[in-house]
């Protein structure tokens, strides 16, 4: 049997991109709903699954900074991050007293930890790592800004991370 039907081309038809990455082929190509002004010394990377904004930092080349939109509650996400370093969850009283910092027009919880980092994603634990980040509820969504890397490099970048957090905004 031979098919002999045709249809006119529309604006939705486009030339296929040869050698496209999986991310280019399968990621929702919508622009990020978050924007900000990262420091010049951070290397901008393409967005990835669960990473709206994505950067590398530090002399080792292993430091990561990324912005994500998550689900759940702020306290649950704070305690999940702490758990990745084997740190006990915050009590409700400790959570209420936690340091706050500006992010995306509101205040978020400032999270820090150091030691052995286990991402829980099947990777080996990494000793001597540090975490700094901010988690906030913005427009009914959980916005996270997470910095992970060698402890000394994270410590050195904390002021830049706070400035970046304050520059973030949700695009409505």
Which domains are assigned to the chain?
42-170 (3.40.1000)
Q: CA 57 to CA 129: how far, in whole Å?
A: 14
Residue 99 confidence (pLDDT) above 60: yes
Each residue's pLDDT tens digit, 26-66: 555 567 899 999 999 999 999 888 999 999 999 999 999 99
Residue 172: the pLDDT is 72
- Identify the pLDDT of residue 17: 67
**3 has a pLDDT exceeding 80:** no
Q: Does this model's pTM top 0.75?
A: yes
For residue 138, what are the CA distances in angstroms to 26, 107, 127? 27, 9, 33
The mean pLDDT value of the chain amounts to 90
């Amino acid at each position: 049997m031979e098919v002999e039907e045709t249809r006119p081309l529309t604006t939705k038809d486009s030339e296929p991109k040869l050698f496209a990455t999986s991310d280019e082929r399968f990621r929702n190509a919508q622009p990020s709903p978050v924007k900000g002004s990262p420091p010049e010394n951070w290397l901008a990377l393409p967005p990835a699954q669960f990473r709206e904004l994505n950067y590398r930092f530090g002399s080792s080349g292993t430091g990561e900074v990324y912005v994500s939109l998550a689900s759940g509650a702020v306290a649950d996400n704070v305690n999940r991050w702490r758990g990745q370093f084997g740190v006990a969850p915050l009590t409700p009283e400790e959570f209420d007293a936690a340091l706050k910092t500006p992010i995306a027009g509101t205040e978020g919880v400032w999270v820090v930890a150091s030691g052995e980092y286990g991402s829980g994603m099947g990777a080996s634990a990494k000793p001597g790592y540090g975490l700094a980040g901010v988690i906030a509820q913005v427009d009914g969504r959980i916005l996270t800004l997470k910095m992970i890397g060698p402890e000394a490099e994270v410590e050195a970048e904390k002021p830049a991370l706070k400035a970046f957090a304050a520059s973030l905004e949700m695009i409505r």
